[in-house]
Amino acid sequence: MKRIFILALTMLVLLPLAGLFASGQKEGASEVKELICWKWGDPGEFGQGIEDAAWPVIEKELGIKIKTEYFPGISEPEYVIKVSNAIKFGKGPDMMDGNGLILGDLAYQGFCEPIPSQLDKKLQGTLIPSYAKVNYLWQKDGSKVPIWGAMTSSAGGQTVFWNTKMYKEAGLSRSMLTWDETFEFGQKLTKKDADGNITRSGFFLRTGGHVGGIGDKWYPYFLSAGGGSMFERDSSGRIKANLNTDAGRAAVQFYLDGLYKYKIDAMGIPGDVGGWEKGQTATVSSRRSWVPNDVKTNAPEMYQYLAAGPIPVRKKGMKSITTSHTYGIAVNPKISKARKEAVWSVLSRLNDDDLIKARTNDIGVWLPTKVSQGKPPFDEKVWDQYLDANANVINRVEGPRFATAYNVIGEQLNLIFAQELTVEQGLDAASAKLNEMFEGVVLKN
């Protein structure tokens, strides 16, 4: 009887505790039924894959609805301001989808939750070696840490895409490897009308449009001229601009020579990938892994002529260096613990092999993952060429606030290319603005 009484008493104590534990579980991650994701860009933008190929599977398996809200038509800095202000006032989303520039800026302001070590390990294990080392962001204290979030959409370094048919007709069998070859090949490929106006660009240079894009596309030429870094650091880690240097001036002059001396391109003429698809340019400079699938979709008759090559170097024997474009999902640090746990479970599932395959191989959107390499459609020659061109890839986010940094550089480059400023004037102006913007910033590693 005594044992029965003790057992009954124990049950009376444990049952309420069990109910309390169950109640706590109901308020935990398993009871989160919807997550909000803000995404920079247009909902119709080609090559994302995640909304159609991954979210429906995750919603079915985990019982969590992923609601995506898009922000098209605004620049990266504007999106950063919108997200940071929303988080400050408790109105932010659970997740923020964006490129490395955006996430780097948000992370530096303290608006990204650090990635759990097990997910970081998982992500690093999925990436090909040349990309496993470049996925990092900068914290407020100046230290470098793994990217917060997960690879989500098209990634890849900037390369050259060229038209094999046009090259063959010009007596060429490969893309240009040096700047001298760029001018030599470009003159053979460029076509003009009776008045001397370019009707087909031999080598498209990004000289207009969104100024951040101008700076971003110019940067691999600075690196491939021996630039080393946009910044130099003193012994304490404080940084200052490293633009008006021999490499910086040479990279700007490379553009100017292409525009005005050799006339293989011109400001304002149709170009870029859309121009390539219409036969208006033989070569597109500094474009990424979304190009092949874009050509397949928008100009399938042209896909057979698509080839990839490395960023041309200043002189023979120098190393071609490109910059990575990693997109990720960051987690709002101000949401509840339960919502954070729900987000991390979603992002972990997103990076399982079957969902990587579903959002890459099955729809042709390349990610630098081991699952995708050497398998259809990434077993075609253009992808081998693309990988070779990505042999030396670095993170394009060399420090905090790089979305704004590229805007600063691009604005001055645009004025130089339009011949409104000299090379030295433009680089000095960009350097002054960067030095002011990064005054007091210390980078630890």
pLDDT per position as a tens digit, 287-298? 999 999 899 999
Q: How far is CA 93 from CA 34, 73, 74, 89, in A?
A: 11, 19, 18, 11
DSSP assignment of 354-390 equals HHHHHHTTTTT---SBTTTTTSTTTTSHHHHHHHHHT
| 159-322+399-437 CATH fold | D-Maltodextrin-Binding Protein; domain 2 (3.40.190)
Token pair for 41: 């860009």
Beta bridge partners of residue 160, listed in sequence order: 309
Q: How do strand 198-200 and strand 34-40 relate by DSSP bridges?
A: unpaired
User: Looking at beta carbons, which pairs linking 82-91 to residues 24 or more positions away fall under 8 Å?
Assistant: 83/38, 83/111, 84/109, 84/111, 87/111, 87/332, 87/333, 87/334, 90/334
Quickly tell me which residue has 């534990």 as its tokens: 21
Are 281 and 201 in contact, with CB atoms under 8 Å apart? Answer: yes
What's the CATH code, domain 33-156+325-395? 3.40.190.10
In the chain, domain spans:
33-156+325-395, 159-322+399-437
Per DSSP, 435 falls in state: H
End-to-end Cα distance, the chain: 70
Confidence of residue 192 (pLDDT cuts 50, 70, 90): very high
pLDDT per position as a tens digit, 39-70? 988 876 644 578 888 999 999 999 999 999 99
Same CATH topology for 33-156+325-395 and 159-322+399-437: the answer is yes
Token pair for 363: 């729809």
Which runs of consecutive H residues, i.e. helices, occur in 268-332?
272-277, 291-298
Are 35 and 66 in contact, with CB atoms under 8 Å apart? Answer: yes
pLDDT per position as a tens digit, 251-286? 999 999 999 999 999 998 888 999 999 999 999 999
pTM: 0.88
More confident residue, 101 or 422: 422
